[in-house]
Amino acid sequence: MKKIFFGIILLGFASIAFFSFKPKKQKRPNIVFIMSDDHAYQAISAYDKRLISTPNIDRIANDGMLFSNACVTNSICAPSRAVILTGKHSHLNGKIDNHFPFDTNNVTFPQLLQANGYQTAMFGKLHFGNNPKGFDEFKILPDQGNYYNPDFITKNEGKIKLTGYVTDLITDLTLKWLKEDRDEEKPFFLAYLHKAPHREWLPAERHYKEYLSKTFPEPETLFDNYEGRGSASKQAEMNLLTHMNWAGDSKITPENMKKLGIAESHPYDIKNYNWTVDRMNPEQRKAWDNAYGKMNEDFVKKYPSMTEKDKMKWRFQRYMQDYLGTIAAVDEGVGKVLDFLKANNLEENTIIVYTSDQGFYLGEHGWFDKRFIFDESFKTPLLVKWPNVIKPGSKNSQMVQNLDFAQTFLEAAGVKAPSDMQGESLVPIFKGKGKNFRDAAYYHYYEYPSVHMVKRHYGIVTENYKLVHFYYDVDEWELYDRKNDKNEMKNVYNDPKYSEIKKELHAKLAALRIKYKDSEELDKMYIDKYKELEKSGKIWR
């Protein structure tokens, strides 16, 4: 009798336990996608401590994963964004360069997230020429946007003009949305997109003083003369000494240029400068004049005795002071967003990504800008944090691409990716698996002839080699040995030592072109379309 009694009691407990146990439903993660414009990995201290300290951006890598070989498919702004949103190479999504319009019939991953219950918002620079689809809320800069007192195109309030510094304003809009507009019932996808550190590199007032007095270590290849490479490197117009604007970029006043007999580097040299200073209110202008006035005074004294070499050195320092100065504000903004997530219990279940739309030259090969398949512009920073999935402090050297983001976010959100997306989800890599990821990346750049005059090229990049074809007005092949020639100074395409590897890479490249559905027919079609745009006056140099 006693036994039966205990048996009944035990059964009672067991059934209470059974019915009150609900399998813990894994909540779908939030995603905070932070992207800056033209942020070189050389200017993030998690990658390289020589130029700047970015303690807040570094937090993402310390708590998550740092990718040392993340790269893009087409190193230029709007095309990179189109690749990210569609998960397709430029030749298929159609946004091959900054001039072509984005075809809004493309399906983008935020549309799929939204349709599957995510709340979606975007703040900052998109640079598409049209508004983003799949967003419940957005406030974006028109085109390139302005650093001081920028306009924003908004989803619900038309065009607005805000007073202040662009990086701080984008951060404020992002934080306001998190505080006031977030739907706590839904997971969210938040795109926090900086304009900085894009040209013309205008820092926040509070950083003028510190950055204008700093000096930075020069890159080994600052005085590169482009020997040993083909015509594309020689003809590119992105040299610090010859192509950088004296007024617009280095901030020498038009009056001082005249006084010193310095000619404009480009028809937009002085125009760009005037657009910058004309947007400032009297208070901002005063702070600007104080800081940059002093720099101008010093320069006027020095200039007459400067050699060409001195000028190059001076221009490099001037460039770094402003470029890195803009990053100081980005890092502060990122810190504020990370702090907010932490303080509001949003840290545990949120994926945080920091990246750039491409890499950038910080004086390597004497250059600024990007566009080339060569490392500084081809590689891009990527830091990802996802608590309980990514082991803190991990490092990964796989050749992941911006092409992979769409499928990564969709998988993390439990949404099936369309079968025509061309990337690969990074989720296995986050989990410490995915050892045999991509062994070769495909790259294709189109915007030529246009500003900076980097010739059209496509190529294949493997761990050890890079094979590139420059076409349009040339037919030149280049081959680089990435292990033995880190700075990519010597084209070994015609070196017999490499004939076997050359053959292999040609075959691999042809196979990749087929795999990704790129072809000579498409190359020609895009050239014809470009020529039509040129005729209609829509291409600017």
Helices (H), 236-350: 254-260, 269-278, 282-302, 308-343
Q: Which residue is nearest to ligand SGN (CB)?
A: 77
Q: Looking at beta carbons only, is 197 or 230 nearer to ligand SGN? A: 197
The dihedral region occupied by 145, where left means phi > 0, alpha psi between -120 and 50, and beta the remainder, is left
Nearest distance from residue 80's CB to ligand SGN, in Å? 8
Looking at the Cβ atoms of 77 and 270, the one nearer to Ca ion is 77
Q: Which does 200 bind (CB under 5 to 8 A by kind): Ca ion, ligand SGN, none?
A: ligand SGN
CA dihedral 344, 346, 352, 354 (to 10 degrees): -10
E strand spans, 43-91: 65-67
Q: With respect to Ca ion, which residue has the nearer C-beta, 403 or 415?
A: 403
Contacts of 265-271 with C-beta under 8 Å, sequence gap 24+, read 269/245
DSSP 160: E
- Which residues sit at the interface with ligand SGN, rule CB under 6 A? 37-38, 76-77, 98, 127, 144, 198-200, 248, 268, 272, 369, 451-452
Closest listed residue to residue 290, CA positions, set 279, 282, 302: 282
CB of residue 79 to ligand SGN, shortest distance in Å: 8
Least Å distance between CB 498 and ligand SGN?
32
37 versus 478: smaller Cβ distance to Ca ion: 37
139, interface contact from ligand SGN, Ca ion, none, CB < 5-8 Å by kind: none
**Euclidean distance between the first and the last CA atom of the chain, given in angstroms as a whole number:** 96
Q: Which is nearer to Ca ion, 202 or 270 (CB)?
A: 202
Q: 327: buried, middle or exposed (CB in 10 Å: 19+, 13-18, 0-12)?
A: buried
Among 38, 376, 424, 481, binds Ca ion (CB under 5 A): 38
Q: How far is the CB of 366 from ligand SGN (least distance, A)?
A: 15
Q: Which stretch binds Ca ion (CB under 5 A): 5-13, 160-168, 352-360, 489-497?
A: 352-360
Q: Would you say 379 and 357 are in contact if contact means Cβ atoms under 8 Å apart? A: no
Question: How far is CA 437 from its chain centroid?
Answer: 22
Q: Tokens standing for 469?
A: 């074809």
Distance CA 454, CA 449 (A): 7
* Contact of residue 98 among Ca ion, ligand SGN, none (CB under 5-8 Å per partner type): ligand SGN
Find which of ligand SGN, Ca ion, none residue 199 binds, CB within 5 to 8 Å per kind.
ligand SGN
- Return the one option of Ca ion, ligand SGN, none that residue 272 interacts with (CB less than 5 to 8 A, by type): ligand SGN
Among 299, 319, 295, residue whose Cα is nearest residue 240: 319
Length of the chain as a residue count: 541
Q: Which of 77, 173, 204, 413 binds Ca ion (CB under 5 A)?
A: 77
Question: CA-CA distances (angstroms) from residue 422 to 89, 351, 364?
Answer: 7, 22, 32
357 binds Ca ion (CB under 5 A): yes
Tell me 403's DSSP state: G
Which of the choices ligand SGN, Ca ion, none does residue 257 contact, using the CB cut-off of 5 to 8 A by kind? none
Is the CB of residue 220 less than 8 Å from the CB of residue 63? no
Q: Find which of Ca ion, ligand SGN, none residue 452 binds, CB within 5 to 8 Å per kind.
A: ligand SGN
Site string for Ca ion, 122-151 (x = CB under 5 A): ------------------------------
Residue 451 binds: one of ligand SGN, Ca ion, none (C-beta under 5 to 8 A by kind) = ligand SGN
DSSP, collapsed to helix, strand or coil, labels residue 275 as helix
Nearest to Ca ion by Cβ — which residue? Answer: 77
Give the nearer residue to ligand SGN in terms of CB position, either 71 or 178.
Answer: 71
- CA separation (Å) from 70 to 56, 356, 359? 20, 10, 10
Tell me the closest approach of the beta carbon of residue 97 to ligand SGN, in angstroms: 9
Nearer Cβ to ligand SGN, position 150 or 248? Answer: 248
Report the distance separating Cα 512 and Cα 505, nearest Å. Answer: 10
Examine residue 369 and tell whether it contacts Ca ion (CB under 5 A).
no
**Alpha carbon distance 476, 29 (integer Å):** 47
The site for Ca ion, by CB under 5 A, has a size of 4
Report CA 131 to chain centroid distance, whole Å: 19
Q: Which does 369 bind (CB under 5 to 8 A by kind): Ca ion, ligand SGN, none?
A: ligand SGN
Query: Which window, 31-39, 282-290, 471-479, 533-541, contacts Ca ion (CB under 5 A)?
Result: 31-39
Listing from the earlier edge strand, what are the strands of the sheet with 440-445? Answer: 440-445, 457-462, 465-470, 476-481
Closer to Ca ion at the Cβ: 424 or 447? Answer: 447
CB 124 → Ca ion: shortest distance, Å?
A: 12
CB of 358 to ligand SGN, least distance (A): 8
- CA contacts within 13 A on the Cβ side of 435: 0
Residue 317 contact, options ligand SGN, Ca ion, none, Cβ 5-8 Å cut-off depending on partner type: none
Distances in whole angstroms, Cα of residue 317 to Cα of each of 163, 241, 268? 29, 12, 22
If the CB atoms of residues 182 and 279 are measured against ligand SGN, the closer one turns out to be 279
Q: Which is nearer to ligand SGN, 111 or 144 (CB)?
A: 144
Q: Taking the CB of residue 237, how many other CB atoms lie within 10 A of it?
A: 16
394 binds, among ligand SGN, Ca ion, none (CB under 5 to 8 A by kind): none
Q: Which is nearer to ligand SGN, 327 or 512 (CB)?
A: 327
The nearer residue to Ca ion, 402 or 491, going by C-beta atoms, is: 402
Q: Which residues pair with 396 in a beta bridge?
A: 67
Binding status of residue 37 toward Ca ion by CB under 5 A: yes
Separation CA 62–CA 385 (nearest Å): 8
- Which entry of Ca ion, ligand SGN, none binds 462, CB below 5 to 8 A by partner kind? none
Binding site for Ca ion (CB under 5 A): 37-38, 77, 357
